[in-house]
Amino acid sequence: MPLSRLFSSTREIPESSVVPRHIAIVMDGNGRWAKKRFLPRVAGHKRGVETVRSVVRLCIDHGVEHLTLFAFSSENWRRPPDEVSFLMNLFMQALRDEAARLHKNNIRLRVIGDLSRFDPSLVEVIREAEALTGANTALTLSVAANYGGRWDVLNAINNMVAEHPEKAGRYEEADLAPYLTLADAPEPDLFIRTGGEQRVSNFLLWQLAYTEFYFTDRLWPDFDAEAFGEAIASFRQRERRFGRTSEQLDKPAGEN
C-alpha cells in the first residue's frame, strides 16, 4: 500500500453537514433491557438485532452514508462462556438471515476487528456477506466484532512499519491513516452510546478525535425512530469548530 494522504480532522477541516455522514454507535443496554422484563440477558441481545435493522433503515432514510456499530468488543470475551457463544451464534445467524436483504437494499456490509479469534465457519459467512454486498452504495454498514480501538491503532502501526521500514522515525499522521480500519470512510461525525454509560469502552479511539458525542439513557432495544431523531437533532445544534473560534465560523470561507 502506498503512503497516501487521507483525510484527517486534525489536519484538515471537514465540510460540515446538517446530517451526519458517518454515525458510530455503541449499542449498549441489552442485558438491562432483558433484566427489567425478568428475561435472560440473551433475550435482550435478540431484541437488539431488531433495533439494528430499524437503525439501518433510519440511516438510509436520513441520507447517512456510513454506519459503524459496536457489536462485540475485544473485552467482551470476559463474559460468561454461555453468553459469548450465544452472541457468536446470533451474529452468524443474523449474517445468514440478513445478507440477501442488505444486498437488495444496496447496503455494503463489512466487519471490522480481529477476526483471527473467530471460528473459521463464522469468518467464512462474514467473507461471503462482504463479497456479496461489496459494490453496494446506499450505505456502508461496518460491524465492529472482536474490535478494540487500541488493537486498530497497533495493527495499523505494525502494517505501516512492515511495508515502509525506510520511513522509521519520520512517520506522519497521514501515513498511518490508510492502515486503520474505516480508512475509506470519513471520520465519524456523531458517536451515540445508548444504555446510560458515558464511556468509549475502547471503540474507535483514533477516528473519534473530533466526533460529536451523544449519550442517552435509552437501552439499545428501546432505541426507536424518536430516539434516533433526538440524537440527530442534538447533532444539528452543535457548533463544530475544529479548533477555530466561533467568530471565524460566521465569516464566508476564505476570509478566515
Q: Which residues are the active-site residues?
A: 28, 76
Q: Tell me if 9 is assigned to a ligand binding site.
A: no
73 binding partner (options ligand IPE, Mg ion, none; Cβ < 5 to 8 Å by kind): ligand IPE
Residue 184 in marked binding region: no
213's enclosing H/E stretch is strand 212-215
Whole-number Å distance between alpha carbons of 236 and 212: 10
Gap between the Cα atoms of 207 and 8, Å rounded: 9
Is 28 one of the binding residues for Mg ion (CB under 5 A)?
yes
**246 in a labelled binding site:** no
Q: Report in angstroms how near the CB of residue 112 gets to ligand IPE at its nearest.
A: 12
Grid coordinates representing 86 are 450465544
Closest CA to 211 of 137, 131, 149: 149
CB-side exposure of 221: number of CA atoms within 13 Å?
Answer: 17
Q: Residue of minimal CB distance from ligand IPE?
A: 31
How far apart are the C-alpha atoms of 87 and 191, rounded to whole Å? Answer: 23
Which residues in 180-199 contact Mg ion (CB under 5 A)?
none
* Alpha carbon distances (Å) from 13 to 16, 22, 98, 120, 236: 9, 15, 37, 41, 17
Percent helix, strand and coil across the chain, each rounded to 5?
45, 15, 40
- Is residue 33 a known part of a binding site? yes
Instruction: Give the residue with the Cβ less far from Mg ion, 213 or 242.
Output: 213
Q: For binding to ligand IPE (CB under 6 A), which residues are involved?
A: 26-32, 70-73, 75-76, 87, 195, 197, 199, 201
Q: Which among ligand IPE, Mg ion, none contacts residue 59 (Cβ within 5 to 8 A by kind)? A: none
Distance (Å) of CA 130 to CA 105, 110, 135, 185:
14, 5, 9, 16
- Identity of the residue, 223 or 235, whose beta carbon is nearer to Mg ion in the bound complex: 223
Nearer to ligand IPE, 34 or 177 (CB): 34
Least distance from C-beta 93 to Mg ion, angstroms?
21
Q: Which does 199 bind (CB under 5 to 8 A by kind): ligand IPE, Mg ion, none?
A: ligand IPE
Q: Provide φ and ψ at 101, rounded to 5°.
A: -65, -40
Q: Which does 27 bind (CB under 5 to 8 A by kind): ligand IPE, Mg ion, none?
A: ligand IPE
- By CB under 5 A, name the binding residues for Mg ion: 28
Annotated binding site for Mg(2+): 28, 212
Annotated binding site: 28-33, 41, 45, 73-75, 77, 79, 193, 199-201, 212
